[in-house]
A and B are shown apart, each in its own frame.
Chain A
Amino acid sequence: MASLIPCPHCGVRPKEEFAIRGDASLVRPDPESSDETWNDYVHIRANPRGRYREHWQHVAGCRRWLVVERDTFTHEVFSVTDGSVRAWEIGR
């Protein structure tokens, strides 16, 4: 796992300071969606080997939610953005 995360607010920090929530690409389905859609949203996850975008929370630092784009194989971190900026970017 990527061991150093460059937090946009706090600088480079060890991964121990963060809590990982998981896939950041999921979009919450419509409340009226079928049970199958909801099941997929809640339970079904891809487990990619390679580039992956996740929600990380800097629990021991600024306590902000971040979107970390990293490689699950090479451990390279491509980008880290604040969750609010990301949400604004994709219009949520």
Chain B
Amino acid sequence: MPHQFQERHALEELVSMNAAAAADHLAVVARQAIVVVLAAEGQEASVAALLTADEEISVRFSAPGEWLVVTGLQTPELLQQSLAALLRETAHCVDQSHGRVLLRLSGANSRAILAKGIGIDLHPSAFVIGSSANVLCGHISINLALVDKNSFEIVVMRSFAESLLHDLCEMGRAFDLSVFFAP
């Protein structure tokens, strides 16, 4: 019996489409490709070198020998295929594009907002552009990355996205944080 699957964003009914963003803004990214890469034993260094050499993808550290590969330039299928061709037997690649939600928090107060729920040093000298880490935000485990001067990207598991969004809105209330789907 054929099934018809409909693609729905986890935050579809909770977040409105884009309007005017405030100074501090949380953008919910509607379409992205996310693949978990787990290096085979002993192949950690070569996989890391291959991943960082690719300029179309953003590589987020998750654990020793494990990364999240994020891109907005490719479809999930294409990213999965290109990574499988690039890494071959040296790593396992699992498509998580529909299993995770990508959020982008930007603004001058983004660090102050995140500091309310995160226990790591977010000072620009400690958490530099390009850094990424798995951290606990409130009670939810997320992957946090600094992609630009004051712009963080958060990757969270789909089923936790709603709860995290609620927490982030609460954390951003003092700064008049706005939340919309990214255009």
Contacts and interface: CB of A to CB of B under 8 A. Distances in A.
Please tell me the size bucket of the interface on B: 10 to 19
Contact of A63 (B63, B119, B121, B135): B63
Interface of B: 62-64, 66, 119-121, 133-136, 141
Interface in A46-83: 59-64, 82
Nearest to A10: B133
Interface residues of A, number: 15
Contacts of A62: 62-64, 66, 134
A91 interface: no
Given A60-B136, A61-B135, A17 B119 contact: yes
25 contacts: A9-B63, A10-B133, A10-B134, A11-B120, A11-B133, A12-B120, A12-B121, A13-B120, A13-B135, A14-B136, A17-B119, A60-B134, A60-B135, A60-B136, A61-B133, A61-B134, A61-B135, A62-B62, A62-B63, A62-B64, A62-B66, A63-B63, A63-B134, A64-B63, A64-B64
